[in-house]
Structure 1
Amino acid sequence: MGLLGLLLAGCALNTPPLYESRAEAFLKRQGVAEASIERLKGRQPLEPDEVRLFGQYKDTATLFLLASNEGTPAEDVEKLASSEDVEVRWGAAINPSLSVETMNRLRTPGKYSTINGYLARNPALPLDVLRAMYKSGEATKVDIAMNPSCPPDLVDAILAEQPEDVRQYLSVNRGLGPAAWTRLEKDPSPSVVRMLQHNRAYVRWKRDVAPLEAGRS
């Protein structure tokens, strides 16, 4: 995968850009205000009337973005998680406000499924479930590497066991901390190190925090 693809994959909530373009085209045809469309696309907090407006449409891309938006009220996310449209359920599966009970209902234990992959990217997924997914193959290792709450033991496993492409996805994960970033800086793959340089959280830490920590040592 090229640089652009990985950067897009590392964006907030890891939402495929195709949904953004499709939703934008649809909502413009409905005469929705540009500012509202941009908030939906940008995963920004939505006004209650915007949530109601977007929720009334039967457009898959719009509902996917609404379901995955962290600013959508939890009760609405729960409703969208029961949608007849599987892609809308995918959107709800990566929303941290989704209840653990509903996550468990959506999950298929011991078997890979696309919705398991979305659940594996959800930072609110219980870590014991994420570990089980890693071991059983319920989700791809890439999905798990993209989870902002990926715990140190799984980070270690990915760095030790997984090929370069999976480590590349780990390097653009903005939820990791200094311990993981320090190891990724020394990754034998130039591609992994190069991708790390595009991780905004890493860049801020390297620029603003690491020098202070070095000065105190």
Structure 2
Amino acid sequence: MLESTLRIILTALFIMGCSNIPDTQTPYSIVSKANCSGPSGEYHTELHATTDGYTRFIQSYPNDKERYDAISYGDTLGFTLNRDKVDRWTDIPEIAVGKGHMFHMIAIEPAFIFTLTADQRYLDSTGRIISIKNDSTGARIHSFELTNPFDSAELIEIYYSNWELVDGHELPMHVKIVQGGENEFYFDFYEVKIDDPTFTKVEPNQELSH
């Protein structure tokens, strides 16, 4: 009962802190869609991210595998949806996986997704270091490396390419993931919406508090 009450309080605080669109040239929200492929075949990914810590990570498959739909507010409050209803709370490693896929918001400013420390290091939701490498001009991210949140011995490398201008922002339209030095995943983005007026956040409802 105490945990449920704390969850409700934390939810309210996070939502209050994630409600105002900044009055700057920095985009507030990005929604991206990609056709993907990996060792197990083809699938589809949809990514939602805002500059104040909200993310949504959706992956769907052409077979009978259940669609995955995970939402997070910051680094510690997350949940999944099942048929548009809140299903379960997610732990911090699972939140870190979703946030690590927010490729376009990371391309604009990694600190919108990762924690930037006083000594200028980026950390994921689990507190592990993110290594970011810029291209030869220093203006764009070439790649970044992170530790698998569920396996501290496994390195995941993410490479950006095929940059295009989208509403005044240069964004990578092709992303390659190399997991553990061998498994490769490819994301080919075909739609990116910046500050779409129809964008909305999914909030936890009372079904999670029982």
Higher-Rg member (1/2): 1
Q: TM-score when scaled to structure 1?
A: 0.27
More helix by percentage: 1
**Which structure: greater strand fraction?**
2
Q: TM-score, normalised by structure 2?
A: 0.27
